[in-house]
Structure 1
Amino acid sequence: MQRRTFLLASSAILLLPFPALAASGKHAVLYKNPQCSCCEGYADYMRQNGFEVDVKPTNDLAEISRKAGVPEGFEGCHTMFIDGYVIDGHVPVDVVEKLLAEKPAIAGITLPGMPMGSPGMAGTKTENFIIYAVTKDGKAPTIYAAA
């Protein structure tokens, strides 16, 4: 009887839909301009690197970034939230992983603009990407990483 129970339980696990298995991974919510396609490319990049990403088109992207603590002039192309942090722009996954592993006392990180060759963007990378730490208290961003 125990063998039969084991086999039935094992079969049931294999029949679970893939999203149920993916739910054990890292979940992100990405807000983007409805007309922007590079943001979809970034979401796909994050999925390829083990994240479950929900994409939410919005016309209030600047307001979402501002409320998350990203100062004007430091905004990226889209705003993503993971584990209580804001990640603004096309931040490389290794820097996102660093943030999630270190868990610093900041609001999040941002790669301003839409740098060519960054994850999800077309073109060739021609310079280091400077990723900034965004504070919770409104102080000026500081350099968090270069990639």
Structure 2
Amino acid sequence: MKLNRYALLLISLLGASAAMAQATVVEVFKSPYCGCCGKWVEHLRQSGFEVKAHDVEDVPAVRQKLGMPDRLGSCHTAKIGGYVVEGHVPAADIQRLLKEKPKALGLSVPSMPPGSPGMESSKPMPYQTLLVQSDGSTRVFAQH
């Protein structure tokens, strides 16, 4: 089978994304009692990330320590590549963050929207991934 140059470029880009994901460890802080947190961790692993998950009793305290505003909180928080990632953020958004390297605290998908990674649902709802600045201000990073 002969591949055209666009197919080869796509294969190359996909390989680079997977390599980038594997090169950066995601450190996740989650409740030991929350099933959707484990599903999000599995989503990251299936997307090529190496994940170190830590069960903690007080996720909001970890969130506060990392500087993520409570109003943007969810059920788990993570650190990756110098950024904080809060909630059910899709792996593709994290890969884009690591590629673009914006000056920011990190990303957040506040609350637990049905249809987000780890919160799969027969009735998904539209949601946004927010880019969070160090002062707590946000802008839309991605629409889902």
> What TM-score bracket applies, with the shorter chain setting the length?
0.7 to 0.9
Determine if contact 1:108/1:133 at 8 Å carries over to the other structure: yes
User: Could you say if the C-alpha distance between residues 84 and 35 of structure 1 is closer, same or farther in structure 2, counting changes exceeding 3 Å?
Assistant: same
**Percent same amino acid at aligned positions?**
35
- Return 5+ residue gaps in structure 1 as ranges: 1-23
- Determine helix, strand or coil for the equivalent of 1:91: coil
Distance 1:69 1:103 in 2: 18
Aligned counterpart for 2:98 among listed residues 97, 100, 104 = 100
| Post-superposition CA distance 1:66-114 (Å, at most 9, x none) | 2222212211221011111111001111111110000011010000011
Tell whether 2:96 aligns with 1:124. Answer: no
Aligned counterpart for 2:46 among listed residues 45, 48, 67 = 48
Aligned counterpart for 2:87 among listed residues 73, 86, 89 = 89
Distance 1:78 1:70 in 2: 11
Determine if contact 1:69/1:134 at 8 Å carries over to the other structure: no
Question: Which consecutive aligned stretches of 4+ in structure 1 deviate over 4 angstroms post-superposition?
Answer: none
Determine if contact 2:26/2:79 at 8 Å carries over to the other structure: yes
Higher helix share: 2
Distance 1:122 1:139 in 2: 28
Which amino acid in structure 2 is aligned with residue 37 of structure 1?
Answer: G
Shift of 1:60: 2.1
- Determine helix, strand or coil for the equivalent of 2:141: strand
Aligned counterpart for 2:60 among listed residues 54, 59, 62 = 62
State TM-score, norm by structure 2.
0.79
Shift of 1:125: 5.2
Distance 1:53 1:125 in 2: 28
Shift of 1:62: 0.6
Aligned counterpart for 1:141 among listed residues 122, 135, 138 = 138
Larger Rg: 1
- Return 5+ residue gaps in structure 2 as ranges: 1-21
Distance 1:54 1:27 in 2: 7
Determine if contact 2:40/2:118 at 8 Å carries over to the other structure: yes
